[in-house]
Amino acid sequence: MIPTSKDVIAFLNARLAARGLPHRVDQIVVLPYVNPMWLANWDAPQLHDAPEREIIEEELREARWQYPQILEEF
């Protein structure tokens, strides 16, 4: 089964909470295609302006490694 955007949101929110960060993700942007290079086909723009960039980038890298290709689920 291919993971969905809800899986990534749950993963990121759990990781951010575990780090004690106040940020949470409500939605992510999923590209409409599967990347042939197996790069992540999603992004979390809600976190772009967060001040804890280094920690958030680390969590995003982990999430992209865990969930490189996902389907959008509403």
Residue 25 lies in a domain: yes
- Tens digits of residue pLDDT in 2-61: 899 999 999 999 999 999 999 999 999 998 776 666 678 999 999 999 999 999 999 999
For residue 35, the model assigns a pLDDT of 63
For residue 38, the model assigns a pLDDT of 67
Residue 47 lies in a domain: yes
Residue 71 lies in a domain: no
Q: To 5 degrees, how large is the angle CA 59–CA 57–CA 29? A: 85
Domain count along the chain: 1
Residue 72 lies in a domain: no
For residue 32, the model assigns a pLDDT of 77
Residue 73 lies in a domain: no
Residue 49 lies in a domain: yes
For residue 39, the model assigns a pLDDT of 79
For residue 6, the model assigns a pLDDT of 96
Range of the domain at 54: 5-66
Give φ, ψ of 27 to 5 degrees: -155, 155
CB 23 within 8 A of CB 57: no
Residue 53 lies in a domain: yes
Give φ, ψ of 6 to 5 degrees: -65, -35
Residue 27 lies in a domain: yes
Measured CA to CA, the distance from residue 56 to residue 72 in angstroms comes to 22
